[in-house]
Amino acid sequence: MKFTRHVFISYAHIDNEPLTPEQRGWVSLFHLTLQTMLTQRLGQRADIWRDDKLRGNDVFGDEILQQFPGTALLVSVLTPRYLNSEWCTREIREFCRVAEANLGVVVDNKARVFKVIKSPLPGEQNLPAVLGEVLGYDFYEFDEDRTPRELDPAYGDAARAEFLRKTNKLAWDIAQLIKRIDAAPQAAPAASAAAPLAASAQAAADLPVVYLAETSRDRRQAREMLETELRRLGYRVLPEQKLPTDEGDYVDAVRALLAQARLSVHLIGSGYGLVPDGPGQRSIVVLQNALAVEQARAGGLARVVWLPAGTAGEQPAQQDFIRSMHENADTQFGADVVCGDFENLKSAVHGALARLRERRAAAAPAAAAAAPLVYIVCSEQDRRDTLPLFKYLKARGLDPKLPVFQGDAAAVRAANNDLLTSADAVLLYYGSGDEAWKFHQQNEIRKAAALPREQALRGVFTYVAAPASDDKEFLIELGEPGMLNGLAGFSEAALAPFAALFAAPAGRP
């Protein structure tokens, strides 16, 4: 393993005070339970540590900071007290800073920080931006009067069972990421992203991507169970990050995710679901179904809708939606509507995925004949300057593509991510962009190279173009592999190492 410890638990000590004197503190119980479950899933002793010194002021010790380079993952137990603690929030920021320089905060599109939300939060303003996109694990539920209550076994057998179920899912997800980290290449310059992907990633690339729609509260447990099973079988399940709460941004984000998926699955319950802030005032359940119908009409997205017989809406809006799902051909367009139990749902999902795999296998020979795609990563200011490069690649039977620059921010990002993950090779055009821009692009390329792909990335090269700078001249003088010298102007000779990638069989560096 690249790290000496698996997990550090970050928490506010006040949140570990027991409810009654004879009980163990919540964080202590969580630690022991997670330790046991993670050990069983890893097949080796899980090394989980936390600072258990009882200090009222949550003092941040240097000994904690010194442990971060050797720690794979951080689990933060989020509460209102945690967000108000300078030292707790510093722990996350310091871990992210160290992680960025050591393999990266994100590995295989998964953040190395897990959010355990022990009680509802007023906001997450004190946390690093990357955590705003991370899906959390809610360890609380609401009483009938909407009073939040943490999942503590002290509240009875039902709370104990849900506490164990949630911890089990967290342990499974942590174990999968640790295995990916163990299989990931060591941190290296951007050119190292050309290394062939691990066999597991290659196998996952052959599987359809699934969009598993967000649900109302009464279907969340079933959704988590289905998500866990699909991920266990190697499927990529979207969304992988927290979605926006603004209606317009939410629609754009879901539309971009559905464009990546081959199958969408919708679990319809009696609750109407959360309503994003916006003029439409439609719930996430209704919005996702409408967007999936849109994608099914435009791109052949397969759909499965689970609407168990007898499901009745709690609110008039949900009653209308359920009625429409039964009676309106537009609402259920392209969907296999399953009215049986959860096992019937699983059978329908696996059947749809099997059909998609068969279609993909049948289409593989035609796809193999396509021209290799070369993604030229450049700034918008350099678009015209890449024209000689673009023509050179086109003349050699390649399919060069430039980034998308105009349009909605979420859609632009999704389109460029798609180019990164589908490219046969990447050419980073280092011209008008500064050092920070170059570093950001290299980081994005590294992350994309670790994602499941249809075929291995052949190579990543950096084309150093005018204007000259100290950093560019240093890179040329260094003479590292994957660096192409175009400071003096376009040169076919300088591109020879890159062109050689396509003289080798596909899938080889």
What are the pLDDT digits (tens) for 212-242? 999 998 998 899 889 888 887 888 899 988 8
* 8-state DSSP, 56: T
Please compute the mean of the pLDDT values over residues 412-439 and round it to a whole number.
90
Superfamily of domain 198-369: Cobalamin-binding domain (3.40.50.280)
Please compute the mean of the pLDDT values over residues 255-267 and round it to a whole number.
92
- DSSP state string for 67-91: HGGGEEEEEEEE-HHHHH-HHHHHH
373-503: what fold?
Rossmann fold (3.40.50)
Q: Same CATH topology for 198-369 and 373-503?
A: yes
pLDDT level of residue 106 (50, 70, 90 thresholds): confident
Strand duo 137-138 + 399-401: pairing: unpaired
Multiple choice CATH, 1-187, 3.40.50.10140, 3.40.50.1820, 3.40.50.12780, 3.10.450.710: 3.40.50.10140
- Looking at mean pLDDT, say which of 198-202, 326-330, 407-411 comes out highest: 326-330
In whole angstroms, give the CA distance from residue 324 to residue 80.
41
Residue 287 above 90 pLDDT?
A: yes
Q: What's the confidence (pLDDT) of residue 357? A: 85
pLDDT tens for 240-259 read 888 888 999 999 999 999 99
The dihedral through the CA atoms of 484, 485, 487, 492 has a sign that is negative
Q: How high is the mean pLDDT of the chain?
A: 85
The pTM for the full model equals 0.55
pLDDT level of residue 365 (50, 70, 90 thresholds): low
φ/ψ (deg, to 5) at 384: -70, -35
Q: Which residues pair with 74 in a beta bridge?
A: 8, 113
**Three-state SS letters, 252-310:** HHHHHHHHHCCEEEEECCCCCCCCCECCCCCCHHHHHHHHHHHHHHHHCCEEEEECCCC
The dihedral through the CA atoms of 219, 244, 261, 190 has a sign that is negative
Domain spans in the chain, listed from the N-terminal domain onward: 1-187, 198-369, 373-503
Please compute the mean of the pLDDT values over residues 447-465 and round it to a whole number.
81
φ/ψ (deg, to 5) at 507: 90, -5
Q: Quick count: other Cβ atoms within 10 Å of Cβ 86?
A: 10
Residue 190 above 50 pLDDT?
A: no
pLDDT level of residue 422 (50, 70, 90 thresholds): confident
Residue 186 above 60 pLDDT?
A: no
Tokens representing 448?
A: 């994309």
- Residue bearing the bigger pLDDT, 186 or 20: 20
